[in-house]
Amino acid sequence: MDGAVLQSYLPRYVDAFFLTVRIGCVGIALSLVIGIAVSFVMHFKVPVFKTIAAGYVELFRNTPLLVQLFFLYFGLPKVGLALSAESCGILGLSLLGGSYMAEGFRSGLGAVSPAQTESALALGMTKAQVFTSVILPEAFTLSVPAIVANVIFLLKETSVFSAISLMDLMFTAKDLIGLYYDTTEALFLLVSAYAVMLLPVSILGSVVEKKARFKMFGA
C-alpha cells in the first residue's frame, strides 16, 4: 500500500463521494414520495390507478437498475428525450426505490389492526381523523425497518452509475485502475468511501428502528 498514491487519489474520491451522496439523497427522497403515493393507491384500491401502480411495482422490482439506466440514458434519446447522466441516475434510483418503498409502506398500512380503526370510529372520530391520527402514524412506525433497509440498498445500488459515465465512486476506481494499475490503493479508497457513506446510515437506522419498536411495544 503506497501512501503517496493514496494521497494523490484522495481528491478525486472526495469529489466522487459527494456526487454519489448527492444523487443518492435526491433519489431516495423522491423514492419516498413515490412510494407513499403508490402505497396509498394500492392500499385503498383506487380503480384503474391500482392496476397501473401494481404494474409499476412489479416492473421496477423485477428489473435490474443497470437495465433501467441503460433505457433512460440510451433509449430515451431515440424518442427525442435526452437526459443528462446525473438526471438519469436520479430518475432511475427514484423509480427503483419507489417500487420498494411502496411495498414497505403498503405492508405497514396493511398491518394496522382493524380493531384500532373501529375503536377510533366508536369514539366519534371521523374517517379522516382516524387515518391521519391512528392509521398513518402506526403504519409509518411499522414501515421503519423496511425503509431503513431500502435506503441502504439504494445507496449501494449507486455503484452501477458508472455504466452511464457518471463520475461516481465506482467510475473513479475503475478509471484509476485502468490508467495506473494501482489496484490495491484504488480499491482500498473505494471500500473506505462506501464504508464512510453506509455505516452512519446503518447505525442511525438501527437507532430509529429501536425507537420505533419502543414506541410500538414499550420495550
Distances (CA, A) of 136 to 119, 145, 147: 15, 16, 15
* pLDDT reading at 141 higher than 90: no
* pLDDT reading at 214 higher than 80: no
Query: Which fold, 3-109+141-217?
Result: MetI-like fold (1.10.3720)
* Domain segments of the chain as ranges: 3-109+141-217
For residue 219, what pLDDT is reported?
47
CA dihedral 204, 207, 208, 213 (to 10 degrees): 160
* pLDDT reading at 55 higher than 80: yes
User: What rounded mean pLDDT belongs to the chain?
Assistant: 86
Instruction: Give me the percent of the chain exceeding a pLDDT of 70.
Output: 96
Average the pLDDT over 93-119 and give the result.
Answer: 86
